[in-house]
Structure 1
Amino acid sequence: MIFSEATIVFAFNTFSELAILNSSIHDVWAWKNSSTMGASTLRYSGTNAFETFPFPTVKSEKLNSLGNELHLTRLKIMKHYQLGLTDLQNIFHNIHLDNKTEIYDDIIKLREIYKSIDFEIIKLYKWNDIDLKHYFYELNHLPENDRSRFTINPTVKKEILKRLLLLNLEQSKSDNLGKKRLRVVSKNSTNTLFPED
């Protein structure tokens, strides 16, 4: 298989990062800090969306467990129903999914896992005042005939984006503290490799 130059590989040793990158919280950041292909396909930016995302600084065994559960549940559903990830996501976001279909209970379970991931991340950020209000919402950045998604409330998304931006700015400031400024070395200096301070 030949991969596109746009393929991004994440190498982590826990499932916490998988959970975070699949969360509604990271989704808000990714849509704001990436471009699109066509009208509705996110072209994820490793530089603008991943490297700038203010990951929670507190580790959570529960989040790691939820990430593992997400991975195993998606894999099981995809194998059982012979679905690719895109097809699975389309069914996941289908507001009209018939409760008599065989896949219905699996999709409900998957939605609950995603909700639990979002709740755990909100807890890690200590944003206990936010009510995510998971449901099906029309997303304006998607085509008119395909806007419905199972996600968090659009008003809540704006608040989360605002808080993530503030965290990003705080982390950026702390990352830059203590860093030496580069100095220009004069033309007459004999020590160009290690100029004196």
Structure 2
Amino acid sequence: MARSEKVDYREVVRPYLVGEDVAEHPAQQPRRWIIDFGQRPLEATLRYPAAIKIVRERVKPVRETNKDRFRRENWWSFGRPYTAIRAALAGLPRYIAAGRVGKRLLLTWCEPWTCPSDLVYVFAFDDDYSMGVLSSSTHSAWAWSQSSTLKGDLRYTPTSAFLPFPWPYPVTDEQRERVAEASRRMISRRQEICAEQQFGLTRLYNLVDEGAYADLRKLHRELDEAVAACYGWPKSIAQDKHEIARRLFALNAEIAAGQRAYDPFAGRDGRSVAQQLGLPVD
């Protein structure tokens, strides 16, 4: 590297998001940093001398004793490069992240250069409509019915909860915008509360469960009703988790049997849709 060449460490040093940040930080922001060389070969890491020095001193000695050959030989790289999810996120101005385990599925927006930990699920969407659907009681009811639990907490399972989740289809532009607007308003209000009170989403929603912040509860109800309308359902079932789950099971069966047209991600690359969580595609 030429002496005059300036090193931009932001290319390999990234904010590192863990589930605790999503649940406890007032702005759902990372409080840690991680060195991520991506898929760069070792010689390319020499461009960042301070970073590779840290990895060589702190990571290499541990990796040299690892039983996994890839981890031993590629000691400067992540043990699991997650190439599929990197490809799915490429070019997005933001993405959705959620902690794997919790009393409820908490979702937040992340900046594109934030590196999620293996305890954070990533949804490769950048639009408010998708955030609204995933934040709704409809998706929550499905997630609880399809995922496992850990000490009573939801343990979101992507292969059973995300991939087979029957999204609304077809959806009009008006319906889509109504969900998007409800999502924006809900997230804006909860960000405002968390910033004012300096607590995270777990504390916030525990208080909501106790009866606090009726305005936020109302915004969630409006979002739930907007999503229900996309399915053609009445407002009366928008927060009835048992009825929602029953209807989603029936809808999923119709889609699987080819009895209903279904293309909720029209216009997107089919592989990237199936890999929203970095899952393999046959």
* Length-normalised TM-score, structure 1: 0.66
Distance in 2 separating the partners of 1:67 and 1:125: 17
- Counterpart check, 1:170 vs 2:275: no
Letter in 2 for 1:118: D
Task: Tell me, in whole angstroms, the C-alpha distance in 2 between the residues paired with 1:51 and 1:158.
Answer: 20
1:122 and 2:228 aligned: yes
Distance between the aligned counterparts of 2:146 and 2:242, measured in 1?
Answer: 14
CA distance 1:163–1:2, shift in 2 (3 Å): closer
- Count how many residue pairs are aligned between Structure 1 and Structure 2: 144
- Distance across 2 between alignment mates of 1:2 and 1:45: 19
User: Structure 2: which 5+ runs fail to align?
Assistant: 1-15, 19-116, 262-282
CA distance in 1, matches of 2:249, 2:222: 23
- Provide the secondary structure at the position in 2 that maps to 1:131: helix
3-state SS in 1 of match to 2:237: coil
Unaligned runs of 5+ in 1: 98-106, 134-151, 178-197
The within-5 A match list for 1:1-197 is: 1=16, 3=18, 4-39=117-152, 41-57=153-169, 58-59=171-172, 60-95=176-211, 97=212, 107-128=213-234, 131-132=236-237, 152=239, 156-174=240-258
Secondary structure of 2:149's match?
A: strand
What is the aligned-residue identity percentage? 33
Give the C-alpha shift of residue 9 in structure 1: 1.0
Question: Separation in 2 of the partners of 1:50 and 1:171?
Answer: 15
Following the alignment from structure 2 to structure 1, what is the Cα–Cα distance between the partners of residues 17 and 127? 27
Per-residue CA deviations over 1:37-90 (Å, capped at 9, x if unaligned) read 112x11111111111111111151110111111221111111111011111111
Once residues 124 and 167 of structure 2 are traced to their aligned partners in structure 1, the CA distance between those partners, rounded to angstroms, is 16
Distance 1:132 1:163, change over 3 A: closer
Distance of 2:227 and 2:135 partners within structure 1: 11
* Higher normalized strand content (fraction of residues): 2
The CA deviation string for residues 110-134 of structure 1, in whole angstroms up to 9 with x for no partner, is: 1111100111111111122x6138x
SS in structure 2 at match of 1:9: strand
Q: Aligned residue for 1:190?
A: none
Q: How far is the alpha carbon of 1:2 from its aligned partner?
A: 6.4
* Pairwise CA distance, 1:94: 0.7
Counterpart AA for 2:180: N
Structure 1 pair 76/2, CA: closer, same or farther in 2 (3 Å)? closer
Equivalent residues of 1:78, 1:84 under 8 A apart = yes
Query: Quick check: 1:19–1:70 contact (8 Å CA) kept in 2?
Result: no
Task: State how far apart, in whole Å, the 2-side matches of 1:14 and 1:2 are.
Answer: 20
Letter in 2 for 1:163: R
Distance in 1, matches of 2:134 and 2:17, equals 24
1:140 match: none
**SS of equivalent to 2:210:** coil
> How far has the Cα of 1:6 moved from its partner?
3.4
Contact 1:31–1:42, Cα closer than 8 Å, also in 2: yes
**What is the alpha-carbon root mean square deviation over aligned residues?**
2.3
* Aligned-partner SS, 1:8: strand
**Structure-1 separation of matches of 2:17 and 2:244:** 37
Task: Work out the CA distance in 2 between the residues paired with 1:132 and 1:167.
Answer: 15
Cα distance in 2 for residues equivalent to 1:168 and 1:114: 25
SS at match of 1:93: helix
User: Quick one: distance in 1 between partners of 2:197 and 2:17?
Assistant: 26
